[in-house]
């Protein structure tokens, strides 16, 4: 038997420190559902999702019960729908969204991700139709999430697409004005979007993968927070250096990741499908004690966003990856510390007291995954400014060879400082001010492409 | 020909007890088949299985072992049972059915009886057990064998049990502890 201290250690990670598996996401290839008839395509999609994911939720719950680790979300990611619906127009893409929504409800998953397109170099007719369909499609459905990849390090940034995405995000928010613009929370724009990310809203089952597989996203900010607290409370003669704290994070991340790997592999085994990756992201929830912001504070800044915050997140992000990489056979997805403002109570509080501002968040995203995530901004923010915010964030990803993303919610009718709540895991926050609005229209109007950086020429 | 014995030894703990006992057995030509010892809050206990030549009687064995008392400066409380055959049954559950049950609650009379009663009533075999009391909180950690026992029913019953007894109870497959605490566990 394992030593009792170790058993109690694991039990307390789950009982007291909010350790869970944040998501088990089944990736399903839908390319063979294509047909020239929209109704047949929709029927094919529903049949296929039902065939593979019919037992997903039930299996996750069985495994969760066996190991005593909650699996918070069960989700599906699909082949980016622009590939599946090529040749269809806007109206047909909206029908596809409804088919996905119905399929998701039938198999009781929380979300299905992949109402998506890859347009880093240019937009096909299908991509254009999809982008036009997104505001209506995501607002008429409950469980469908969408994403657009507008850039890669190898190809550069498609500014023509970004020009369209700014107004699209405003449209998404305005159509869901009665829920604070929540529609925009189901959409994210990427550079270097991973093809196997299990987290929403950007989950897709990209081209070049198995027919079906299981990916897992772990949680664990609470575990890391408590491990750091214990380390700092030790009565050693010499107080720990940052390298000691980084080591502590590594060890905690190892344990967290092993839980995810164990659950994911057992679910995959039971369903007899291949296991894909563990995403090593630290995903916070609005619960107290499950926050990345609290980790930033315990690592030495009194307010999140104060100088030092970027360095702390860099250290945290790297240590999480180092611990996690050793714990898992195959790591993928986004893999880094998330800083989704609304979904993290400590971050949301820092916005409320003005210590965390958009520019600092942007700086932090250059050293962590994923980007400007779940940020409520004033509904009056002009579309060109939103496009320009996206462009800034996308080049951070392009130049640094990493994934970056933007998921901002221009809350209709609300100004900076007002409060908005999205409920559940999506959390709440005050609306963050956006400075210098209305000053980027000329830049955005150029359109075209931001060329790939010199270091994209690697062959 | 040989005789088989199960020998248990209890005493206040000190250095050299296992050596003294095993030395006496070897002097009698005994072969130790299996041995387990633990020290509980400073009190030593040991159980061992041994095979001795038929020529050594049970009384001789007791007398020989008691010689250790003077040597150790402590009185060993020894109990000996002759066995027809040496038991060889493995007491570890197959990895597939090994679960860890933990119970935490306010330290009180009847805590252990309640938890083990839950197991006994449902035919759950306890393979290993450890307890500790910290600041008025009592904790029990049990390695249990759930072979042929329905996990769902047991989990539901545990929820009722923990509410009725105001304890925090968990039941988790043993693999999760290995996965989180041991590098060597292949997943």
User: A99-145: per-residue pLDDT in tens?
Assistant: 999 999 999 999 999 999 999 999 999 999 999 999 999 999 999 99
Report the pLDDT averaged over residues A78-107.
97
The C-alpha torsion from A253 through A254 and A255 to A258, rounded to 10°, is 120
Interface of B with A in 118-137 (CB under 8 A): 127-128, 130, 132
Please report the pLDDT score of residue A287 as a whole number: 87
* Minimal Cβ distance to B177: which of A6, A265, A329: A6
Closest Cα to residue A30, out of A16, A43, A12, A48? A48
* Chain B residue with minimum CA distance to A324: B180
Q: How far apart are CA B159 and CA B157, in angstroms?
A: 5
Residue to test with chain B: of A15, A66, A218, A329, most B Cβ within 10 A: A66
Asked if the Cβ–Cβ distance from B170 to A14 is below 8 Å, we say yes
- With a CB cutoff of 8 Å and minimum separation 6, the contacts of A252 are A220, A223, A224, A227, A323
Report the pLDDT averaged over residues A170-196.
96
DSSP-assigned states of every residue in A51-86: HHHTTHHHHHHHHHHHHT--EEEEEEEES-HHHHTT
pLDDT of B4 above 70: yes
pLDDT of A235 above 80: no
Please report the pLDDT score of residue A19 as a whole number: 87
pLDDT band at B163; cut points 50, 70, 90 = very high
Asked if the Cβ–Cβ distance from A68 to B143 is below 8 Å, we say no
* Minimal Cβ distance to A7: which of B127, B141, B185: B141
* H or E, element range at A185: none
Report the pLDDT averaged over residues A228-256.
91
Query: A251 CA to chain B: closest CA distance, Å?
Result: 10
- DSSP secondary structure letter of residue A186: G
Average model confidence (pLDDT) across chain B: 91
Asked if the Cβ–Cβ distance from B179 to A65 is below 8 Å, we say no
pLDDT tens digits for range A288-311: 888 999 999 999 999 999 999 999
pLDDT of B24 above 70: yes
Query: B21 CA to chain A: closest CA distance, Å?
Result: 26
* Minimal Cβ distance to B180: which of A15, A258, A326: A258
Average model confidence (pLDDT) across chain A: 94
Please report the pLDDT score of residue A200 as a whole number: 93
Please report the pLDDT score of residue B182 as a whole number: 83
pLDDT band at A4; cut points 50, 70, 90 = confident
* Minimal Cβ distance to B180: which of A10, A65, A66: A10
Report the pLDDT averaged over residues A260-271.
96
Please report the pLDDT score of residue A115 as a whole number: 98
Please report the pLDDT score of residue A138 as a whole number: 97
Asked if the Cβ–Cβ distance from B181 to A8 is below 8 Å, we say no
- Helix, strand, coil abundance in chain A, percent, nearest 5: 50, 20, 35
* Minimal Cβ distance to A4: which of B132, B176, B180: B132
Query: A289 CA to chain B: closest CA distance, Å?
Result: 20
ipTM for the whole complex: 0.82
Query: Coil, strand, or helix at residue B137?
Result: strand
Task: Please tell me the pTM assigned to this model.
Answer: 0.90
Report the pLDDT averaged over residues A68-84.
96
pLDDT band at A338; cut points 50, 70, 90 = confident
Q: How far apart are CA A235 and CA A219, in angstroms?
A: 29
Radius of gyration of chain B measured on its C-alpha atoms? 21
Would you give the distance in Å from CA A165 to the centre of its chain?
Answer: 18
- Ranking A262-266, A378-382, A449-453, B37-41 by mean pLDDT, the lowest is B37-41
Asked if the Cβ–Cβ distance from B180 to A329 is below 8 Å, we say no
* Chain B residue with minimum CA distance to A61: B152
pLDDT band at A376; cut points 50, 70, 90 = very high
* Minimal Cβ distance to A259: which of B128, B141, B176: B176
Query: B173 CA to chain A: closest CA distance, Å?
Result: 5
Kindly state the tokens that stand for B128.
């290993």
Asked if the Cβ–Cβ distance from A11 to B143 is below 8 Å, we say no
Query: A166 CA to chain B: closest CA distance, Å?
Result: 44
* Percent of chain A whose predicted confidence (pLDDT) is above 70: 100
Report the pLDDT averaged over residues A34-38.
96
pLDDT of B90 above 70: no
Q: Which residues does chain A have within 8 Å of residue B146's beta carbon, measured at their own beta carbons? A: none
Kindly state the tokens that stand for A27.
């990736």
Q: How many CB atoms lie within 10 A of CB B37?
A: 14
Asked if the Cβ–Cβ distance from B177 to A68 is below 8 Å, we say no
* Chain B residue with minimum CA distance to A64: B172
* Minimal Cβ distance to A10: which of B132, B171, B181: B181
């Amino acid at each position: 038997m394992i030593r009792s201290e170790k058993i109690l250690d694991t039990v307390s990670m789950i009982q007291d420190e909010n350790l869970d598996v944040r998501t088990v996401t089944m990736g399903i290839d839908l390319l063979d559902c294509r047909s020239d008839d929209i109704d047949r395509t929709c029927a094919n999609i529903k049949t296929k999702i039902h065939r593979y994911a019919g037992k997903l939720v039930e299996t996750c719950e069985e495994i969760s019960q066996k190991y005593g680790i909650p699996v918070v979300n069960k989700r599906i990611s699909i082949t980016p729908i622009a590939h599946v619906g090529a040749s269809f127009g806007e109206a047909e893409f909206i029908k596809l969204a409804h088919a996905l929504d119905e399929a998701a409800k039938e198999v009781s998953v929380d979300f299905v991700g992949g109402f998506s397109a890859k347009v880093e170099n240019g937009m096909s007719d299908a991509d254009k139709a999809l982008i036009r369909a997104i505001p209506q499609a995501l607002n008429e459905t409950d469980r469908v999430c969408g994403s657009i990849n507008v850039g890669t390090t190898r190809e550069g940034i498609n500014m023509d697409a970004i020009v369209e995405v700014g107004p699209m995000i405003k449209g998404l928010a305005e159509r869901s004005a009665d829920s604070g613009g929540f529609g925009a929370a189901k959409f994210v724009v990427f550079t270097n979007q991973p093809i196997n990310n299990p987290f929403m809203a950007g989950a897709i089952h990209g081209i070049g993968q198995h027919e079906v597989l299981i990916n897992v996203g772990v949680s664990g900010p609470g575990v890391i927070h408590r491990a750091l607290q214990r380390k700092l409370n030790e009565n050693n003669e010499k107080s720990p250096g940052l390298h000691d704290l980084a080591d502590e994070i590594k060890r905690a991340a190892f344990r967290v990741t092993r839980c995810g790997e164990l659950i994911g592999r057992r679910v995959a085994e039971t369903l007899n499908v291949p296991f894909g990756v563990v995403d090593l992201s630290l995903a916070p929830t609005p619960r107290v004690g499950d926050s990345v912001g609290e980790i930033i504070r315990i690592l030495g800044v009194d307010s999140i966003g104060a100088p030092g915050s970027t360095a702390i997140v860099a250290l945290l992000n790297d240590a999480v990856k180092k611990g996690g990489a050793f714990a898992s056979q195959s790591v993928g997805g986004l893999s880094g510390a998330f800083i989704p403002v609304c979904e993290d109570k400590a971050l949301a509080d820092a916005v409320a007291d003005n210590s965390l501002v958009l520019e600092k968040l942007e700086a932090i995203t250059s050293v962590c995954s994923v980007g400007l995530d779940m940020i409520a901004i004033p509904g009056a923010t002009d579309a060109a400014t939103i496009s320009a915010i996206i462009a800034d964030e996308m080049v951070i990803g392009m130049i640094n060879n990493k994934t970056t993303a933007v998921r901002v919610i221009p809350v209709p009718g609300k100004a900076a400082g007002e409060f908005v709540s999205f409920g559940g895991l999506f959390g709440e926050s005050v609306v963050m001010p956006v400075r210098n609005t209305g000053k980027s229209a000329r830049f955005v109007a150029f359109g075209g492409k931001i060329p790939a950086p010199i270091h994209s020429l690697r062959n | 020909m040989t005789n088989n014995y199960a020998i248990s030894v209890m005493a206040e703990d000190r250095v050299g007890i296992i050596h003294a006992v095993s030395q006496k057995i070897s002097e009698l030509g005994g072969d130790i088949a299996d041995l387990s010892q633990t020290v509980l809050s400073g009190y030593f206990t040991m159980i061992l299985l041994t095979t001795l030549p038929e020529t050594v009687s049970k009384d001789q064995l007791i007398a020989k072992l008691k010689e250790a008392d003077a040597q150790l400066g402590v009185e060993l409380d020894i109990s000996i049972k002759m066995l027809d055959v040496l038991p060889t049954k493995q007491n570890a559950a197959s990895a597939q059915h090994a679960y860890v049950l933990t119970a935490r609650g306010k330290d009180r009379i009847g805590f252990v009886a309640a938890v083990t009663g839950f197991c006994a009533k449902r035919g759950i075999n306890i393979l290993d057990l450890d307890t500790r009391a910290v600041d008025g909180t009592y904790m029990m950690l049990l390695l249990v064998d759930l072979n042929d026992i329905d996990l769902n029913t047991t989990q539901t019953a545990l929820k009722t049990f923990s509410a009725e007894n105001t304890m925090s109870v968990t039941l988790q497959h043993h693999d999760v502890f290995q996965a989180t605490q041991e590098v060597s566990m292949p997943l």
